[in-house]
Chain A
């Protein structure tokens, strides 16, 4: 899709953009299958879908090395995939199967994978802020040049520990980036009802490098992330990135009737005007970096890949009951 005349740098950029497109589609297709599994009652527990927010995870994680760390949230499938997790082991985990990332012991809200630097998704809102900060602490102390990213939703802004660790991170000049995904809703409540004052000022008050970005624009998220990651890696300290985004589905899959907290029209506007995948695809076509047919093929390929991963997970065995007492202690 690139021409030989293009300089190398531009060609690398195009590869990156196409990879980001693919990653966003992968996340959306993954989540579509999760929705399907859940509605077919094949998936135990709860599922919190990341659909609509793909550009945040992908834009940030594409600015990271494989050895860099992330922590994730209850709405974490997108972060895990963007950091390199494989869909078959993820689906297996979602179904509580032995082949899952956590041998079925963690489930949807606790996917962890040392091989991709994923310290774990966390089902306590803001629960991983300390862990992400600690990973940055050890990166600095051990001098291994790693950076740590803490993903959290705007609901976590209500937790005091966030401010404790931002203070620590700035005091110790730690290479950690706090990525706040403001999807507007803290479960079933608009964030404006729970969040006083100015969000960014909370971080600037501690001296953190702070920025906000359109979380539906993957190129913008990536560009700013790259700057913050490089800065952190250089030893210039922590940063806070506020991403404006939107959760297309409910708080979890079962949250169907949402009109008491947000209108269908609002949902429709975000989906039609600000969809991160559609808009990015349109831009790629306009820039003649990809043709529409190729993008459609990507969609179809990933849908089929996700279906295969689901089949693998459905067929995979559960852990033996004897495993219940394993892994309590190392």
Chain B
């Protein structure tokens, strides 16, 4: 990470800064979505962009996720670099034909002749008391589809650098932001830098166990690592940052070094991201593992409203701490 001179931004500010810088750099970048202009989204992530870039580039749409996502696919094919905003990740269900059958396949079906340089930004993450239709983390769905790239930043620094890479990428990229992290602060350099897609980051170096974590689960893993340190277990925290392309090597090398691994992701555990990453580690580090790779994801239930119910559906520092301790035989 370059020197930031103590400059800190929230996760939301980092996203906004990446968009503003890219829009200044490239006049074909535009934003499309519900309440993105005057409102700056319900999370205020885009506040101020309308004032700088105007209504032609920060475009409020009707509540028509399929329509404006499809429009973005066509615009991307013909010279624009649209960034569509899907307010809640749960609403990606409405865009699936546009993303899965259109955006993801245009390049291949046309024998490489057309390309779709677009970004879909959307949210994920539970524990906001928003119930079953505003709390899901459905990123695994897009990871399953060839032709798409999937990005899950975990810090303000990564969010800015990864979003810039996503916007400059020649492919459709889905960018998942955990809405519970929007207020998270961290160092972010002013000015231009990118974080490449497909390069994992070791967020904490450790010796005894690897915690592979995505998005806000990185923060959970770092918290658990602090608890583990108190009982003498040194945890390494590895963030893949992008689920496709996937930096398998860094995950495998870490697991080989520590000989134990837990994979954390806020998507549903069943048939989810944790299964894929655990398989990568189990295959790649097989002879060096001292324990089966453990997976921790969301419970296989619709996210409930009632706080005590919702809180048990996703991994927490405490549950990760307990699982790691057990895996290390303490």
The reply on A260 being an interface residue by CB < 8 A is: no
The reply on A106 being an interface residue by CB < 8 A is: yes
Q: Which residues of B contact A167 (CB under 8 A)?
A: 62, 64, 67
Contact A135 B110 (CB under 8 A): no
- Closest chain-B Cβ to A5's Cβ sits at a distance in Å of 45
Residues of chain A from 122 to 138 with CB closer than 8 A to chain B in the complex = 122, 124, 127-138
> What number of B residues sit within 8 Å (CB to CB) of A?
44
State in angstroms the CA–CA spacing of A148 and B69 once bound together. Answer: 17
Interface residue from B56, B71, B117 paired with A134 (Cβ < 8 Å): B71
The reply on B185 being an interface residue by CB < 8 A is: no
Contact A106 B111 (CB under 8 A): yes
The reply on B70 being an interface residue by CB < 8 A is: yes
Contact A102 B71 (CB under 8 A): no
Say whether, besides A103-B111, A103-B112, A133-B70, A138 and B79 are in contact (CB < 8 Å): yes
Q: Which residues of B contact A130 (CB under 8 A)?
A: 66-67, 69-74, 98, 102
Contact A100 B77 (CB under 8 A): no
Contact B67 A161 (CB under 8 A): yes
State in angstroms the CA–CA spacing of A112 and B138 once bound together. Answer: 31
State in angstroms the CA–CA spacing of A136 and B108 once bound together. Answer: 23
Stretch with Cβ within 8 A of B (4 or more), from A113-121, A244-252, A302-310 = A113-121
Residues of chain A from 27 to 78 with CB closer than 8 A to chain B in the complex = 69, 71
The reply on B318 being an interface residue by CB < 8 A is: no
Contact B77 A131 (CB under 8 A): yes
The reply on B78 being an interface residue by CB < 8 A is: yes
State in angstroms the CA–CA spacing of A315 and B250 once bound together. Answer: 48
Residue on B with the closest CB to A319? B111
The reply on A160 being an interface residue by CB < 8 A is: yes
Residues of chain A from 145 to 182 with CB closer than 8 A to chain B in the complex = 148, 160-161, 164-165, 167-168, 171-172
Stretch with Cβ within 8 A of B (4 or more), from A186-194, A262-270, A322-330 = A322-330
State in angstroms the CA–CA spacing of A170 and B75 once bound together. Answer: 16
Contact B110 A168 (CB under 8 A): no
Q: What sequence of 0s and 1s flags, for each residue 134-161 of chain B, a beta carbon within 8 Å of any chain A beta carbon?
A: 0000000000001101000000000000
Contact B97 A102 (CB under 8 A): no
State in angstroms the CA–CA spacing of A122 and B171 once bound together. Answer: 19
The reply on A141 being an interface residue by CB < 8 A is: yes
State in angstroms the CA–CA spacing of A141 and B54 once bound together. Answer: 13
Contact B78 A168 (CB under 8 A): no
Q: What sequence of 0s and 1s flags, for each residue 159-180 of chain B, a beta carbon within 8 Å of any chain A beta carbon?
A: 0000000000011000000000
Contact B64 A142 (CB under 8 A): no
- Closest chain-B Cβ to A56's Cβ sits at a distance in Å of 21
Contact A134 B171 (CB under 8 A): no
Residue on B with the closest CB to A100? B111
Contact A134 B78 (CB under 8 A): yes
Contact B113 A134 (CB under 8 A): no
The reply on B107 being an interface residue by CB < 8 A is: yes
Q: Which residues of A contact B101 (CB under 8 A)?
A: 124, 127
Say whether, besides A168-B62, A168-B71, A141 and B106 are in contact (CB < 8 Å): no
A105, A134, A164, most chain B CB atoms within 10 A: A134
Residues of chain B from 45 to 64 with CB closer than 8 A to chain A in the complex = 56, 59, 61-62, 64
Q: Which residues of A contact B78 (CB under 8 A)?
A: 69, 119, 134-135, 138-139
Q: Taking beta carbons and an 8 Å cutoff, which residues of A are in contact with B? A: 69, 71, 100-106, 110, 112-114, 119-120, 122, 124, 127-139, 141-142, 144, 148, 160-161, 164-165, 167-168, 171-172, 326-330
Given contacts A119-B74, A130-B69, 9 further A-B contacts (CB under 8 A): A102-B110, A102-B111, A119-B77, A120-B110, A161-B67, A168-B61, A326-B112, A328-B146, A330-B107
Report 9 cross-chain contacts, Cβ distance below 8 Å, ordered by A residue.
A106-B109, A120-B110, A128-B102, A129-B70, A130-B69, A133-B74, A160-B66, A172-B59, A330-B171
